[in-house]
Amino acid sequence: MREGRSLNSKLLERLPKRVTVVEVGPRDGLQNEKFEVPAAVKLKFISALATSGLRIIEATSFVDPRWVPQLSDAEQVLAGLDLSGEVRYPVLVPNEKGYERAIAHGAKEVSIFASATESFSQKNLNRSRDEAIEMFRPVAERASNDSVRVRAYLSMVLGDPWEGDVPITAVADAAIKLMDLGCEELSLGDTIGVGTPGKVQDLIAGIVRAGIDVSRLAVHFHDTYGQGLANVLAALETGVSVVDSSAAGLGGCPFAKSATGNLATEDLIWMLDGLGIETGVDVNKVADAGAQICRAMGKDIPGRAARALTS
């Protein structure tokens, strides 16, 4: 029985019984760090995360090393993972060339990314929003032929540092175009962390009205204004049951300077455990993994639950 059910809370009745946590720490969490993390240390980090019960761990990105040098060892990291086991290790690919590199090294799942706004698309991908989405068409087609799962990220869904508030219609339009490529799941990213619960629910409702089933949606929140957990709870109320997070709260976006750390996996699991929502993840083991990578980089632990659990 789920903890809290005896309270007969209408809130708890609206929440999913189980949430899938997508751990993005090894990729999104490390991509903007100044410290050069050796591949061996990354693999130890990933192994510790897998031991915690996490079953989807985004391992790396096959982006051009000139743009994200921290992930220049993508081939070495992927080669060090057991890609045939029960843990899934998706990798980010920026284009068809990145896809070819990933598949050549055994990747079984890939993620693609686009922006809901024109400004960020130009700064991040040097092309218009629709051009960027279209760039992924051959990736999606080849993935379908190769029986490779494709996940899509859509950034700047709740605010853009250059454009301000982003219309829900613009987000929904980009979301539909991405999913029409053949993606199985869409992760909605509040890249600069300006979202609040009401805006989160309005956004998800707008996307569902546009024709994307809520079962195909995930959320990816940054905790810039301390709204990450509140926004997750708001998303869960709408029927979303997949949440991205990063161990220790590591991360940020190298192309959006106002984007601070991701929502910490430990904070997320602590809240979900308290609500009686199943994840299959041991929060203490995640905290140990996060503390381990932070020590390796010589930095303090950003996540609040992570600090409390390892102090």
Catalytic center residues: 253
Euclidean distance between CA atoms 80 and 2, whole angstroms? 38
- Cα 80-84-86 angle, rounded to 5 deg: 105
- In the block, which residue shows the tokens 């997949």? 242
Gap between the Cα atoms of 13 and 28, Å rounded = 33
Contact (Cβ atoms closer than 8 angstroms) between residue 21 and residue 232: no
Q: Kindly give, in sequence order, each residue whose CB lies less than 8 Å from that of residue 176, ignoring residues fewer than 6 positions away.
A: 210, 211, 212
Q: How many Cβ atoms from other residues are within 10 Å of residue 126's Cβ?
A: 9
SS3 state of residue 305: helix
C-alpha–C-alpha distance, residues 89 and 56, integer Å: 6
Single-letter amino acid, residue 8: N
What value does the CA radius of gyration of the chain take, rounded to a whole number of Å? 18
| CA neighbor of 186 nearest in space, from 202, 198, 203, 199 | 203
Give the other-Cβ count within 10 Å of 311's Cβ: 8
Give me the sheet containing 60-61, strands edge to edge: 56-57, 20-23, 242-245, 217-221, 185-190, 149-155, 109-115, 91-92, 60-61
Cβ neighbours of 219 (radius 10 Å): 29
- Give the three-state DSSP class for 281: coil
